[in-house]
A and B are shown apart, each in its own frame.
Chain A
Amino acid sequence: MRAALYLGCTIPTEQYAYEVSVREALPRLGVELVDLEGANCCGEPIRGVNPLGWVYLCARNLALAEGMGLDILALCNGCHLSLCEVKHYLGSRPDLVERVNELLKGEDLEYTGKAGVLHTLEVLHDQVGVDRIREQVTRPLKGLRLAAYYGCHILRPSKLGRPDDSENPHKLEELIEALGARSGDYPDRLECCGAALLVSSNKTALTMTGLRLRSIQGQGFDGVATVCPYCHKMLDTKQALSRSLLKDKELSLPVFYYTQLLGLALGADRERLGLELNLSPIDKVLSKV
C-alpha cells in the first residue's frame, strides 16, 4: 500500500525516534511512504482556543493528500483524531466546507473529503496484518513481556470510528505478540498520559505520567510499547522528571515506540531505529534481544 506520511508537529521537531523507526520498518512490510509536502500542524492543541482555525488547519492537510490521490497516514494519536473529527464535521456542514475552501483557494487547494485518514496501528494491524508481520520476523523478541500503551485519542470517542475498541482494544497487544513477545492486561491500559496538561499544569501532567509508569511497572512488565508521540514524550522523555517529582527512586521502566520494536524484530540495523534517543532505561531490554 501507499500512504501520504503526515508527521504533525511533535514527531518531526523532537520525537525523532518515531519518524526514524517508521521510515525504517514500514517499507519492509510493503508500505510505501510518500511525504505529505507542504503540511501544517493539525491544530489539535489549539482547537479550544480557535475552533475555525483548527478546522482550516486539518482541512488543508486533507486537501494536500487529496491532491496526491492518497490517504493520510497520521503517526500521532492527536493528529489522527483531529483529522478524523474535522472530516466528520465537514461531512455534514457544506457551509463550513465552503468557508474553508475560500481560504484554501489562494493556494490552489480544494477540500472535497476524498482522502481517508489512517493511524500507524491501523496500517500495521488492518492493512499489513499480524500474520505478515509474524512471518517476516527474523529476530523474535522472546522472553519479553511488554505493555501496550494505546493513548486516548485512537480509542475515543468511538462514535467517530476509532482505530480500536474504546473499552477493550486488542490490536496493539496482537502486534506485540506478532513480534514474539508477550503482552497482557493492566489497570491503566486505557488511561491518559497527561500530555495535554503540560500547557496548563506541568506538575499535574508529570504526576499523571508517574502514576501510569508506576502502575505498569507494578504489573511486572519488562517495558512499554507506545504508538503516540505525546504518550512517548511523557512516559519516556520525561520519565526522569516524573520520577523526581514523585520522589520514587524505584521508578524505572523501558519505553519504546512500537515501530522501534518492530524494526528490531524485522532484523533492521539497531543504529537505524533511533534507539539512542529513548531516555528511559531501554538497555536492560535491548540486552535480552
Chain B
Amino acid sequence: MENVVELGRVDLESLREIKEVIGDQRVDFCYQCAKCTSGCPVAKLLDYRPHQIMGLVRLGAIDQLIHSDLIWTCSECMKCKERCPQDVAPTDVIYALRSLAISRGVKPLEGHLKMIRSIQSRGTMQPVTDVVTRAFKFYRRAEAGLPPVPMPKDLERFGRSLLRADYSRVLGGEEGKP
C-alpha cells in the first residue's frame, strides 16, 4: 500500500458510497497534515498511518483498502476525529470503509461475528461468564447476589428486528434486504 503511484484503478463508485455515509466532501478536505497520525496510538506501535488511509480514500483506492487489514486496526480512540483541523474524522471514514467491506462480501473478523451472533440470541455481545478472583476462587454472577442480566423479553422478535436492520449483510439470508 505504500506506493500510491502503483495503484490501479480509481473506484469512484465506492468513493461515492463512502461519502454517502460520512458526508459529501469531508475526505476531499484532507490536506495531509498528518495530525491524525501524530496522535494515533496505533501508529506508535504498527505501520499504520491514518493520513495515508485518508489519502488513499481520496485517490479512490477503495477496493484495495476494504480488502486490507488496515481498516480493522483502528483502536477507535477518536483522537483523529477530535483534532482534525479539516473536520475529516478519519475514525468515521474507517467505520464507513468497514461497513462497505462487509456489504461487498468481505468476511467480518471472527470476534465481530461472535459478538453479533450473541447479541442476536441473548441481547448482549457475550454470555455471562464465571470469573476468577485474586485469590483464585470462582466468582459467579448468580451466586454474588446480582440480579439477572437484563435482556429483551421477546428475544425472537428482537432478533428478527435486528435482521431487518440489515444484519443479513453479515449473517447471510434475504430477510434483511433494506
Contact = CB atoms under 8 A, between A and B. Distances in A.
Interface string B57-71: 000000000000100
A53 B166 contact: yes
A158 B72 CA distance: 24
Contacts of B129: 13-14
B126 interface: yes
Contacts of A98: none
A10 B129 CA distance: 10
B157 A200 contact: no
Interface in B109-145: 109, 111-112, 115-116, 119, 123-129, 131-135, 137, 139, 141, 144
A277 B134 contact: yes
Interface string B140-178: 010010110111111001101110111101100000001
Interface in B81-104: 81-82, 89, 94-99, 102
B55 interface: no
B141 A12 contact: yes
A47 B119 contact: no
Nearest to B114: A199
Given A38-B153, A153-B78, A157-B78, A204 B116 contact: no
Contacts of A50: 99, 102, 116, 165-167, 169-170
B46 interface: yes
B26 interface: no
A39 B165 contact: no
Contact of B161 (A7, A38, A49, A106): A106
A45 B112 contact: yes
A145 to B, nearest CB: 22
Question: Shortest 10 CB-CB distances between A and B: which pairs?
Answer: A48-B98, A199-B111, A192-B77, A156-B78, A56-B165, A40-B123, A48-B95, A9-B124, A276-B133, A196-B76
A199 B76 CA distance: 12
Contacts of A38: 150-153
Given A107-B157, A276-B135, A277-B133, A152 B79 contact: yes
A20 B21 contact: no
Given A16-B139, A16-B144, A200-B72, A39 B111 contact: no
B161 A156 contact: no
A41 interface: yes
A207 B150 contact: no
B30 interface: no
A37 B152 CA distance: 8
B165 A55 contact: yes
B45 interface: yes
A181 B162 CA distance: 46
Given A46-B119, A199-B111, A208-B41, 7 more contacts: A49-B116, A50-B165, A50-B170, A107-B157, A152-B79, A276-B135, A279-B134
Contacts of B69: 200
Interface string A208-224: 10000000000000000
Interface string A25-47: 00000000001111111010111
Given A38-B153, A39-B123, A52-B166, A156 B73 contact: no
Contacts of A66: none
B56 interface: no
10 contacts: A13-B128, A40-B151, A48-B98, A51-B166, A60-B158, A103-B161, A103-B164, A106-B157, A156-B82, A201-B46
Contacts of A40: 119, 123-124, 151-152, 158
A178 to B, nearest CB: 27
A194 interface: yes
A19 B167 contact: no
A163 to B, nearest CB: 14
B112 A49 contact: yes
Nearest to A202: B111
Contact of B178 (A52, A60, A107, A197): A52
A49 B146 contact: no
B100 to A, nearest CB: 10
A197 B162 contact: no
Candidate in B41, B69, B123 with the most chain A CB atoms within 10 angstroms: B41
B165 A276 contact: no
A204 B42 contact: yes
B75 interface: yes
